[in-house]
């Protein structure tokens, strides 16, 4: 492992990421690059069961589905295989607006009845004119560096007597209360610190499988009818053994960044996501090795992610923050 750690440090020094996924390359990621197959490989099958069991435990859900693809795939699968009736989406920016687009397609397909949106600043007091069956939200919206506490989202769902769906791509598992979602989706490469290419859906409610597509039918992923997420699962197996050290690195970088740029912070602490920070300042760097995040939303300042030192784990000191100003 020490040899792999040296390789990881060398590679990360050549490209320093301030992006909200993927995270920096860790020795655990490299160790996961081992031969594996989904049928007849008992070692891999054992690793897969272990990882899925741990991921279910982290969110406290009964069921989990794993698929090869980005977080966007899991989001679309989640919407196609669970939603029905009237849907209310909390609009936080680019990624929630993508949820709105997906749901409008579902309405055209007559999978759902209506799509309603409400702004994140006043969703708590929202009074619907019709019955709401599902409340959907993106608790951490990286495009504007915003976090909405999941308890607030659930409070709205309970008041409306609705189910809760969460796009937890940037919030799981580093934020708390994901167990309050009836269905959540997320990917391997953001706060989980794994390799890119795997996504997951954790759920407690019965799916309504979308039979008009092979790839968008969740049941086919549950039954492993397509190529698996072999290397990603093996990397997550290593990461989940000591996830607290990866989380510690993220929190250290967040704390140091907020202190350095405290005069430019956009949101109060309650709306600060752990994975990234939005500042009213266009940040720059003189280092050719630094990759700054280009937001998908039109913002006045910068969103900076805090995954760039996760490979250092407990040795993370937030030194890379000195490279931006």
Residue 118 pLDDT class (50, 70, 90 cuts)? very high
Question: Is the separation of the CB atoms in 145 and 264 below 8 Å?
Answer: no
- Looking at 186, 210, 240, the residue that finishes a domain is 240
Place of tokens 């912070």: 265
pLDDT number for residue 201: 98
- Looking at 225, 240, 255, the residue that finishes a domain is 240
Q: Report how far residue 145's alpha carbon sits from residue 141's, in angstroms, rounded to the nearest whole number.
A: 6
Of 84, 82, 75, 80, nearest to 113 by C-alpha is 84
User: pLDDT tens digits for 34-50?
Assistant: 998 888 899 999 999 99
Please give the structure tokens belonging to residue 325: 């100003």
Same domain, 177 and 59: yes
pLDDT number for residue 73: 97
Give me the CATH number covering residue 307: 3.90.1150
Q: What is the number of structural domains in the chain?
A: 2
Q: Span 156-180, mean pLDDT?
A: 98
At what angle are helices 243-260 and 230-241 packed, to 10 degrees?
80
% of the chain residues with pLDDT over 90: 98
DSSP state of 298: -
Same domain, 205 and 276: no
E strands of 84-215, at which residues?
86-91, 114-119, 134-137, 140-141, 146-147, 163-167, 183-187, 198-203
User: pLDDT tens digits for 178-224?
Assistant: 999 999 999 999 999 999 999 999 999 999 999 999 999 999 999 99
Same domain, 210 and 198: yes
Same domain, 134 and 224: yes
Same domain, 23 and 39: no
Beta-ladder partners of 302: 279
Judged against a pLDDT cut of 90, whether residue 291 lies above it is answered with yes
- Looking at 240, 266, 300, the residue that finishes a domain is 240
Chain Cα centroid distance, residue 67: 14
- The residue count of the chain comes to 325
Judged against a pLDDT cut of 90, whether residue 2 lies above it is answered with no
CA atoms within 13 A on the CB side of 84: 8
Q: Span 218-246, mean pLDDT?
A: 96
% of the chain residues with pLDDT over 70: 100
User: pLDDT tens digits for 56-68?
Assistant: 999 999 999 999 9
Element (H, E) at 74: helix 71-82
Of 20, 15, 17, nearest to 276 by C-alpha is 20
Place of tokens 């309603």: 116
pLDDT number for residue 283: 97
Q: Span 217-237, mean pLDDT?
A: 95
Judged against a pLDDT cut of 90, whether residue 306 lies above it is answered with yes
Residue 314 pLDDT class (50, 70, 90 cuts)? very high
Q: Report how far residue 235's alpha carbon sits from residue 33's, in angstroms, rounded to the nearest whole number.
A: 7
Q: Report how far residue 122's alpha carbon sits from residue 258's, in angstroms, rounded to the nearest whole number.
A: 26
Judged against a pLDDT cut of 90, whether residue 250 lies above it is answered with yes
User: Is the peptide bond prior to 261 cis by the omega test (within 30 degrees of 0)?
Assistant: no
Q: Report how far residue 273's alpha carbon sits from residue 68's, in angstroms, rounded to the nearest whole number.
A: 26
pLDDT number for residue 219: 98
CA atoms within 13 A on the CB side of 136: 30
Q: Is the dihedral of CA 203, 220, 66, 115 positive or negative?
A: negative
Query: Cβ atoms within 10 A of the Cβ of 131, count?
Result: 12
Reduced to 3 states (helix: H, G, I; strand: E, B; else coil), residue 186 is strand
Q: Span 116-138, mean pLDDT?
A: 97
Helices and strands in the chain, H and E counts: 9, 13
Lowest mean pLDDT among 37-46, 68-77, 298-307: 37-46
Judged against a pLDDT cut of 90, whether residue 112 lies above it is answered with yes
Please give the structure tokens belonging to residue 278: 């939005």
Phi, psi of 141 (to 5 degrees): -100, 100
Give me the CATH number covering residue 79: 3.40.640.10
Same domain, 51 and 171: yes
Reduced to 3 states (helix: H, G, I; strand: E, B; else coil), residue 145 is coil
Chain Cα centroid distance, residue 29: 18
Residues spanned by the domain of 82: 34-240
pLDDT number for residue 39: 86
pLDDT number for residue 38: 84
Same domain, 214 and 289: no
Question: Is the separation of the CB atoms in 137 and 238 below 8 Å?
Answer: no
Per the prediction, the chain carries an average pLDDT of 97
Q: Report how far residue 248's alpha carbon sits from residue 140's, in angstroms, rounded to the nearest whole number.
A: 18
């Amino acid at each position: 492992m020490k040899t792999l750690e040296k390789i990881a440090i060398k590679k990360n020094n050549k490209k320093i990421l301030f992006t909200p996924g993927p995270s920096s390359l860790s020795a655990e990621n490299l160790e996961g690059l081992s031969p594996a197959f989904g049928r007849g490989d008992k070692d891999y099958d054992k690793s897969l069961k272990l990882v899925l069991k741990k991921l279910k435990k982290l969110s406290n859900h009964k069921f989990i589905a794993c698929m090869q693809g980005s977080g966007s795939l899991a989001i679309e699968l989640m919407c196609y295989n669970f939603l029905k009736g009237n849907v209310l989406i909390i609009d936080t920016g680019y990624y929630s607006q993508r949820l709105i687009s997906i749901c409008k397609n579902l309405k055209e397909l007559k999978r759902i009845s209506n799509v309603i949106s409400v702004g994140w600043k006043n969703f708590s007091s929202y009074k619907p004119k019709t019955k709401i069956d599902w409340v959907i939200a993106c608790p951490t919206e990286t495009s504007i560096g915003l976090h909405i506490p999941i308890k607030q989202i659930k409070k709205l769902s309970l008041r409306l007597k609705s189910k809760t769906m969460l796009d937890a791509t940037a919030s799981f598992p580093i934020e708390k209360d994901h167990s309050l979602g009836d269905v959540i989706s997320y990917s391997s490469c953001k706060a989980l610190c794994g390799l890119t290419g795997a996504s997951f859906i954790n759920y407690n409610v019965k799916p309504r499988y979308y039979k008009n597509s092979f790839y968008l039918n969740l049941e086919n992923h549950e039954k492993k009818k397509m190529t698996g997420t072999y290397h990603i699962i093996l990397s997550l197996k290593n990461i989940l053994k000591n996830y607290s050290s990866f989380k510690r690195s993220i929190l250290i970088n967040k704390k140091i960044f907020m202190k350095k740029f405290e005069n430019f912070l956009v949101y109060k602490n309650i709306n600060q996501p752990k994975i990234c920070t939005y500042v009213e300042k266009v940040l720059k760097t003189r280092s050719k090795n630094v990759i700054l995040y280009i937001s998908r939303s039109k913002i006045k300042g910068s969103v900076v992610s805090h995954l760039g030192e996760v490979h250092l784990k407990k040795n993370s000191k937030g030194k890379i923050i000195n490279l931006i100003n």
